[in-house]
Amino acid sequence: MIYVLYNPLADNRNGRSNAENIGKILETKDVAYLDITETDAAEFLRKTASEDKIVLSGGDGTLHHFINDCGGRAPEHPVYYYPTGSGNDFMADVRERERDGLVPLNHYLRSLPTVEVNGETRFFLNGVGYGIDGYCCEEGDKQRAEGDGAINYAAIAIKGMMFYYKPRKATVTVDGAVHSYSHVWLAPTMNGRYYGGGMMVAPGQDRLREDGLVTTVVMHCKSKVKTLGVFPSIFKGEHVRREKMVEILTGSEIEVSFDQPTALQIDGETIPQVTSYRVRAGKPAAKEAETAAVAGV
C-alpha cells in the first residue's frame, strides 16, 4: 500500500490537489491520502506494515513536522518526498536524487542535528535562520495571515534592511571557541546548503558529510549600502567570497546569541523574540549509497 501524507496548506492551500498527482506519477490507484497536520506520524508508522510505502507531499515545513513527530528517528518504512511547497529548499539541495518527481528520503533523515530554542529542542533538516532571515519569515507570516497572496521574501528582505531591521551584536561559540561580532545581519546554522526559498547561504555544507558537522555563516557589515549590494549574491553562494563581511564557522556544537530579541526560523517555521539558540550536530555517519529507487515504489 502507498500512503501519501500531504500538507493541505502547502503551495497556498493547494496541498491536496498537488498530492493527487502522485497517483498519476506512480500509475496506480492503490493510494491513500492522509492530512499530515491531523496525523500523528509516529503512531501512524507503528500501525502500518513495514513493506508499505510512505510519500510526504508538501514543503520544508512538512518534512520538519514529520521528522519531529518521529522523534528524529528515520523510519524503517521506505519514505519518499514529493515537493509541493513554496520554497522547497530541501529539494534544491538533493535534486540529483530525484526520479519522476520523487526523492528517496530515509538516508537524509538519519543523524539529524538538533536546535535548542527557549528550552525546547527540535530536529531540523535544512537550517536555523537568525537575523534578517528570521525577520523575513516573521513578516511573511504576517502577510500570509492578512491574505496578501504570494509572499515575496526578497522584497521583504530589501525593505527590512533599508528601513526596519537593525543589525545586532552577536556572540558565536563553536566547540568552546568564542567569536564576537558587531553589525550582524544574519547568523544561520546549516545542515544543508539552502534556505529562504533558494538562497545558497552555506555552499560548502554537505548534509551527508562524514563528520556530521554543521556550518554557521555570519554576515556582518557596518555599511547598509554595501550589505544591500552583496545580499543578492547569496542566491548563488557567491557571498562567501567577501571574507571581510562573511565568516564561515564549522563545528559540532554551536551557540549563537544576539544582544536583543530577534525572530528565528527553523526549516521555515518562525519563532519570535529569541535571544539565543544552540545547535548540536547529529552523530557522524559514514556516507552510503542510497539503495532505494523510486522505480520500486
SS3 string, 29-53, reads CCEEEEEHHHCCHHHHHHHCCCCCE
> Smallest Cα–Cα separation from 131: which of 168, 172, 171?
168
pLDDT of residue 148: 60
Looking at residue 134, its pLDDT comes to 93
Are residues 236 and 92 in contact, defined by beta-carbon separation less than 8 angstroms? Answer: no
In 3D space, the residue among 122, 126, 111, 143 whose CA is nearest the CA of residue 274 turns out to be 122
* pLDDT value, residue 291: 40
11: region left, alpha or beta (phi > 0 left; psi from -120 to 50 alpha): left
Nearest partner of 255 among 194, 202, 178, judged by Cα: 178
The structural domains of the chain, ordered by start, are 2-112+292-296 (3.40.50.10330), 115-280 (2.60.200.40)
| Pair type for strands 253-266 and 103-104 | unpaired
Measure the CA–CA gap between 160 and 153, rounded to whole angstroms.
Answer: 10
Residues contacting 252, CB < 8 A, separation 6+? 175, 212, 213, 214, 280, 281
pLDDT of residue 284: 62
Question: What's the pLDDT score for residue 14?
Answer: 84
pTM over 0.75: yes
Name the percent of the chain in helix, strand, coil, to the closest 5.
Answer: 30, 35, 35
Distance between CA 31 and CA 29 in Å, rounded?
Answer: 5
Determine the pLDDT at residue 275.
97
Q: Which of 280, 261, 282 is nearest to 272 (CA)?
A: 261
Q: What does the alpha-carbon distance between residue 219 and residue 233 come to, in Å, rounded to a whole number? A: 12
Which residue positions in the chain have pLDDT lower than 50? 285-295
pLDDT for the residue 293: 43
Q: Quick one: cell of 60?
A: 520544508
At 297 the pLDDT is 54
